[in-house]
Structure 1
């Protein structure tokens, strides 16, 4: 029975004196401290109106008048955008509000500012009351509890009319002190619970905050998709080229009388250069992802080779390519040039996987507003399937996505015995995806 009573007492007193209660009481005292500058300004305004001796007068009219002036001043100052992140940080640390329930960043919209104003005014208003009670009630309660034991204190209290003039009042004084402390703890707990309940409402994300967060996630997803295409085109092409070159070299070495050792040497050199170039590109893309893992935003910054590196790509792609160019491709804008390079790379990968060592023709024509590229290769069998590798990426779909993001278009299909990939890219990006 005694154990049950002890547990019941602990359960009842924990909301008033537990660890969370002390943190929330600290949050209220912080609100009281924030109210003080506004309250002092309020005393300057109200003092002359009621003929107060000084701003520290014990006049109740001055105290409550200054309090009434301080709250509107606090509300106006809370309209500044940076008030919300500061309030959110305090609420998360001291009120025990879940992190996901509160908004991040300054209050940009007027709806968010008005909500923040309501929260800040409520925080400093309740904080000022609880702070005042915390300063006044503990000394009063302590005096009541020691009153029966202190003749000097009893003598000073005899001038105060009331129940203490009687014996029963003196005997109940310690109980009154305890009740005063419990009342203070109860008021603080009630005010803290109200703030904790209203925090998600007043400091939570507004519809504009949710829209901005959705736009950030969409932008991040778009960048990640671009990085995925970069990896697919770069690594996929390199693996296809290396596989073909290694297979050709192995067949030469496995022959009974290997004679063309120069071809083997060239194949191994091509493998070395292709893998070295691909590792550099892979490091560049993974560097962007590592920066994101360090809680830095993923950016859509330009990375990767452009058409200036096309000769190197064609020289080590593992298949013979006949290139014809109309115009100076060096003047192609960098975003378009970078995406065009990747499209050529993916086209060569498809040619390697489905045409074997058959030669490829590539024609690039630079007009005044458009870059047109056509790639053709004989088909060893059927046309390429949309999914070119088990578990791999969709290369032709990636080509179409790159062209669409630039405001252009791409077509791929069988033309007689040939497989043809045709791409038209405007020199000024309309889609904005290559930035």
Structure 2
């Protein structure tokens, strides 16, 4: 189908948005006309007095209307529907939340009615003069002025409509407080999604590591009892990973169930240690939290940190003993996860910097968790000559301190 080329000067006049904005302008003009007819009326008044009375009365009533919080919402919805019917604009649709919003709404109403009245009067005058031209009362030669008048009126509507749109964005757009709240909300959502991504990485990574180790050990050993135990560990680890995955998906969907979804905490660490022992790595754990129960966020993040430390030990030093120490000292929660380094794990004892764990995503995630909680995390070969890989994390008990 061949498209008809429209001259640039006529394109805005044929756009649907132009006529939607004209309707919006005429609504403001009609409201002023109704007020003028009801009060103060036009009987016995000169034209200048009529205009003065109408302006004063309309401004007072519009300011009073703008004091109603819902007026801003109503005007915002109208502006979105009629001023920007085919595109997006930063126009709020919320009630007034402050006096600044009310005064901006008042300015908008006054400006909208003023522009609408100007276009409405131009429409009436244009229709009157156009009727005279068509009937020939001004002479046949004036018929040539009709296309020029129509073009001028069309561009008047286009220009005033764009001006009114700019006013709507400026006066009905989000206030600085609303913009700040929206930016904070976006930042919180981004942080939450990053946190969920880290949790999913830790949980699935741990499950896959245990599964691979158990399956490989079962194949090598060939003992029926060991194979049965390995399959049991794989089943339990997979079930926990599925629960973590479902929990994360619920939160990502932002469904009502997300608020009630529970997260694993330090109280579930014994089950984590049992899985590591079943995978063939002896685990010695000492958890001393005698000073009281940890806050929910600290308990959850501590579990994920220890989980990542155990996963790294199983991955890079399978079968080697793992030592876990969790204690509260001096107002800080200290987490220490250590395991003997083995050549099979790809970690050179003489050159700790060459370890495969130095730049892993898991260790980076641990450092990010610690930093967000106001703490610090270090990982590397032990400096006391014990040939151990040590993960050491300190977290303040009072978040934000």
TM-score by shorter chain over 0.5: yes
Matches of 1:406 and 1:394 in 2, distance apart? 18
Question: Which of 250, 268, 271 is the matching residue for 1:312?
Answer: 271
Cα deviation code 1:214-267 (max 9, x no counterpart): 3233222211221122112111111111111111112123xxxxxx21111111
Distance 1:16 1:339, change over 3 A: closer
Distance 1:194 1:331, change over 3 A: closer
Distance 1:191 1:332, change over 3 A: closer
Which residue matches 1:398?
A: 365
Is the 1:109–1:208 Cα contact (8 Å) retained in structure 2? no
Matches of 2:313 and 2:291 in 1, distance apart? 23
Matches of 1:95 and 1:361 in 2, distance apart? 67
1:185 Cα deviation after fit:
4.7
Larger radius of gyration: 1
Which residue matches 1:3?
A: none
1:358 Cα deviation after fit:
0.8
Report SS of the residue matched to 2:391.
strand
Moved more, 367-376 or 348-357: 367-376
Is the 2:91–2:168 Cα contact (8 Å) retained in structure 1? no
Matches of 2:52 and 2:356 in 1, distance apart? 75
Pairwise CA RMSD: 4.1
Report SS of the residue matched to 1:316.
helix
Cα deviation code 1:63-90 (max 9, x no counterpart): 5412333135424543656545544443
Superposition TM-score, scaled by structure 2 size: 0.77
1:112 Cα deviation after fit:
5.8
Which residue matches 1:155?
A: none
Distance 1:329 1:288, change over 3 A: farther
Superposition TM-score, scaled by structure 1 size: 0.72
User: Gaps (5+ residues) in structure 1?
Assistant: 1-5, 48-54, 149-167, 254-259
Which residue matches 2:388?
A: 418
1:143 Cα deviation after fit:
6.2
1:128 Cα deviation after fit:
3.2
Distance 1:324 1:190, change over 3 A: closer
1:28 Cα deviation after fit:
1.0
Report SS of the residue matched to 1:332.
coil
Distance 1:315 1:92, change over 3 A: same
Which residue matches 2:25?
A: 28
Matches within 5 A, 1:13-412: 15-16=12-13, 18-33=15-30, 35=32, 39=35, 44=39, 47=40, 55=41, 57=43, 59=45, 60=47, 61-75=49-63, 77-78=65-66, 82-96=70-84, 101-104=89-92, 106=94, 114-131=103-120, 134=123, 138=127, 140=128, 144=132, 169=137, 171=139, 175=143, 182=150, 185=154, 187-204=156-173, 208-253=177-222, 260-291=223-254, 303-317=262-276, 318=279, 319-328=281-290, 331-366=293-328, 369-381=331-343, 382=347, 383=352, 388=357, 394-412=361-379
Stretches of 4+ moved more than 6 A in 1? Answer: 298-302, 384-387
Moved more, 206-215 or 228-237: 206-215
Matches of 1:327 and 1:126 in 2, distance apart? 70
Paired residues in the alignment total 381
Report SS of the residue matched to 2:253.
helix
User: Gaps (5+ residues) in structure 2?
Assistant: none
Is the 1:141–1:176 Cα contact (8 Å) retained in structure 2? no
Cα deviation code 1:95-123 (max 9, x no counterpart): 34885542445465666655544333221
Distance 1:191 1:299, change over 3 A: farther
